[in-house]
Chain A
Amino acid sequence: MKAKKNTLLKIYSALIFLFLYAPIAVLIIFSFNESSSTAQLTGFSLTWYEELFRDAATLSALKNTLVLAVLSSLIAGLLGTISAVGIDSIRSKRMRRLTKSVTNIPLMNPDIVTGISMMLLFVFAGRLLGRSGVLGFPTMLIAHITFCLPYVILSVLPKLQQLDPNLAQAAQDLGCTPFQAFIKVVLPAILPGVVTGIMMAFTLSLDDFVVSYFVSGPASQTLPIRIFSMTKKRVTPDMYALSTLLFLAILLLLILINFAQSRNEKKAKRS
């Protein structure tokens, strides 16, 4: 009985994974297509992988995307950690709730509203300052930091709350400055939260299209924006080639992380 139920569940999960991966499989298959069609297979070739490395616009979009994701996740990580420490020390309940709800706004708001509200702000500010052409890399960076911040804060806060407040006090009693106490006692304890937050921020920034679409300028095309403008005419399979490469890179990375984790666990068990 139980075995039967299990096979049923296994088949069910397999179907869902099929659903999740079917379009990705299509995408990978078409990246090896001979012709430029994204609808009809004509033969096997590696042309699109060669084409990819000649496509300067795509490569520069890739570079923009990565730079933006690294910068915004790191800045959001730093700012978010500092803010989480600050929010954690707010004693007034009302103030705490207010801060938290403001932090949550970008989480609750549809991306399209976040995007256009920031665009309106930038354009309005530009008009006040008498400047045009305000949209560009800096505005994108600001927008990305803004929607990444809550994720960092919300993953650091719980770690801070688990922390024994007396620990930092003890360190200070033993002669540490508050800053030293933070670095030596608090930071190691909340580090997993900070790392998770930065990872989340990085992922979100990398994949974001909607917010970037509204706040980007002509010189700051990211990969999602380039892909969007391509889907407005023809998507060339070199985009598929790029996605396939990225997919493999991430797959490899995740396998490595998994592998390292399970080895650590084994080690921990042995000792």
Chain B
Amino acid sequence: MNQKPSLGKRLLAAPHLVWSALFIIAPLIMVVYYAFTDGNGSFTLSNITAIPDYADTFVLSIWLGLLATVISLIIAYPLAYFISQSKLPVQQTMIMLVMLPMWMNFLLRTYSWMTILEDNGIINTILTSVGLSSLRLINTRGAVVLGMVYDFLPYMILPIYSVMVKLDHSLIEACQDLGGNKWDVFSKVILPNSISGIVSGITMVFVPSVSTFYISQKLGGTSTQLIGDVIERQFMTANNYHLGAALSLVLMVLILVCMAIMNHFSDGEIETGRISA
């Protein structure tokens, strides 16, 4: 008796499965297909063997992405904790303030960093007007990392906040009752309970940072070509879809490996939902 509705219900998953097959699986198959063929459609490994030429670029992208992720985490964690400990109305307002920038177009927000960082930009104007010498801020790797941190910081704050707000206060009290000091409270209660938020925050900052091309184009100079830039160029300018597909494939595999390593550390459980707050 329980089986019958269940069959009908299970059929409800069918549209999704068809959709996934058509628009998630098939496109990935296309990437693989393009990566292993040449312009005439015949099989080739030359796209894959060209990848080592881009090793530097991959390494640089991962490095800058990693830096941005770590900095975001360091900035976001105390803030998320502070927000979660505030009174409810304050909490709501602060979360709103964190989310609000996400509604502004990120291209424009990044662009306005140019106005701030340029040689004749706001910071340097202030510096020179108080008699200091101006700094070269834009067109550096630092500017690119800054752009990444800036653009993706909310994606780190929100998931950490959303696990911290669920944290049971009696756990902290229990730890204190058992003679734990502040460090114990942090390392034995708060940190382990916020791992899932941290992991999803890391994912949501690392993945877009590694693959960005816009931020590096606007804020980076000539020495910050990221893998996203190379891929974009293959499709939009160089008209070499096959190399572009091969690079995307490698990028995808690299990111999946990174994610797998991280999930291994956190035992699964990822807090999904960017604005689940």
Contact = CB atoms under 8 A, between A and B. Distances in A.
Task: Indicate whether A and B are direct neighbours in the complex (CB within 8 Å).
Answer: yes
B238 interface: no
Interface string B236-277: 000001001100100110011001000000000000111110
A124 interface: yes
A44 B102 CA distance: 27
Contacts of B23: 118, 121, 142-143, 145-146
Contact of B100 (A210, A223, A254): A254
Given A38-B115, A82-B12, A116 B235 contact: yes
B103 A227 contact: no
B246 to A, nearest CB: 11
Contacts of B208: 110-111
Interface in B72-111: 75, 78-79, 82-83, 89, 92-94, 96-111
B150 A227 contact: no
B92 A258 contact: yes
Interface in A2-49: 9, 12-13, 16-17, 19-24, 26-27, 30, 38-40
Nearest to A181: B5
B45 interface: no
Interface residues of B, number: 86
Interface residues of A, number: 87
Given A120-B241, A246-B104, A39 B118 contact: yes
B39 interface: no
B248 A116 contact: yes
Contacts of A247: 100, 103-104
Interface string A209-247: 110001000000001100110010001000110010011
Contacts of B26: 121
A38 to B, nearest CB: 6
The secondary-structure label for the interface of chain B is helix
Contacts of B241: 120
Contact of A26 (B10, B105, B116, B153): B116
B31 interface: yes
Given A102-B24, A110-B252, A113-B31, A27 B13 contact: no
Interface string B161-197: 0000000000000000000000000000000000000
A129 to B, nearest CB: 15
Interface stretch (B52-60, B128-136, B209-217): B209-217
Contacts of A108: 203, 207, 255-256, 259
B16 A149 contact: yes
A264 interface: no
Contacts of B34: 120
Interface string A64-86: 00000000000000011011011
A18 to B, nearest CB: 11
Contact of B12 (A21, A89, A102, A146): A89
A106 B15 contact: no
Contacts of B127: none
Interface string B1-23: 00001101111111111011001
Interface of B: 5-6, 8-17, 19-20, 23-28, 30-31, 33-34, 75, 78-79, 82-83, 89, 92-94, 96-113, 115-116, 118, 120-122, 150, 153-154, 203, 207-208, 210-211, 213-214, 218, 228, 231-232, 235, 241, 244-245, 248, 251-252, 255-256, 259, 272-276
8 smallest CB-CB distances across A and B, nearest first, come from: A86-B13, A83-B16, A86-B12, A110-B211, A117-B27, A89-B9, A120-B30, A23-B112
24 contacts: A13-B82, A16-B79, A16-B153, A20-B101, A22-B116, A24-B101, A85-B9, A103-B16, A108-B256, A109-B252, A113-B211, A113-B251, A113-B252, A116-B248, A178-B8, A200-B274, A206-B103, A227-B107, A228-B107, A239-B108, A250-B103, A258-B92, A258-B96, A262-B92
